[in-house]
Amino acid sequence: MTARGKGDFDPMAKIIVPTPLRQYAGKQEAIELAAATVGELLTKLVTEHGELRRHLYTEEGRLRSFVNVYVNDEDIRYLQKENTAVKDSDVVSIVPSIAGGNQHREARSGFLRRRA
Amino acid sequence: MLTIAKQLLEEIGGHGARAYPNECCGALVGVAGEDGRKEVRALLALDNRREGEAARTRFLVTADDFRWAEKQARGQGLEIVGFYHSHPDHPARPSEFDREHALPWYSYIVVRVARSESGATPQRAGQAGGKPQEVTSWVLAEDRSQFLPEEIFPPAASNKG
- Ranking A53-57, A98-102, B65-69, B71-75 by mean pLDDT, the lowest is A98-102
Q: What average pLDDT does range B57-61 have in this prediction? A: 93
Q: What is the pLDDT of residue A102?
A: 83
pLDDT, position B44: 97
Q: CA B7, B18, B124: angle at the middle one, nearest 5?
A: 165
What one-letter code names the amino acid at A30? A
> Which DSSP letter does residue A26 get?
T
Give the Cβ contact number of residue A53 at 10 Å: 16
Q: How far is the alpha carbon of A11 from chain B, nearest alpha carbon, in Å?
A: 26
Grouping H, G, I as helix, E, B as strand and the rest as coil, residue A107 is helix
Q: Assess B57–A contact: CB distance below 8 Å, yes or no.
A: yes
Residue B83 near chain A (CB below 8 Å): yes
> How much is the pLDDT for A104?
53
**Under DSSP, is residue A67 helix (H, G, I), strand (E, B) or coil?**
strand
Is 90 exceeded by the pLDDT of residue B153?
Answer: yes
> What integer best gives the mean pLDDT of chain B?
90
Strand order in the sheet with A30-34: A30-34, A12-16, A91-96, A67-71, A74-75
The model's confidence at residue B121, banded by pLDDT at 50, 70 and 90, is low
Closest by Cβ to B66, choosing from A54, A55, A96: A96
A76 CA: distance to closest CA in chain B (Å):
12
CB atoms near residue A90 (< 10 Å) = 18
Closest-CA distance of chain A to residue B61, Å: 5
Contacts of B80 in chain A (CB under 8 A): 19
Q: Answer for the pair B69, B44: CB distance below 8 angstroms, yes or no.
A: yes
Using 50, 70 and 90 to split pLDDT, how confident is the model at B138?
A: very high
Answer yes or no: do B104 and A20 touch at CB < 8 A: yes
Give me the pLDDT at residue B124, please.
54
Cα B40 to Cα A112: distance, rounded to the nearest angstrom: 40
Confidence of residue B106 (pLDDT cuts 50, 70, 90): very high
Q: Which helix (H) or strand (E) holds A71?
A: strand A67-71
The pLDDT, as a whole number, for residue B123 is 52
- Among B100, B110, B147, the residue to mutate for chain A (most A Cβ within 10 A): B100
Segment B66-99, tens digit of pLDDT? 999 999 999 999 999 999 999 999 999 998 889 9
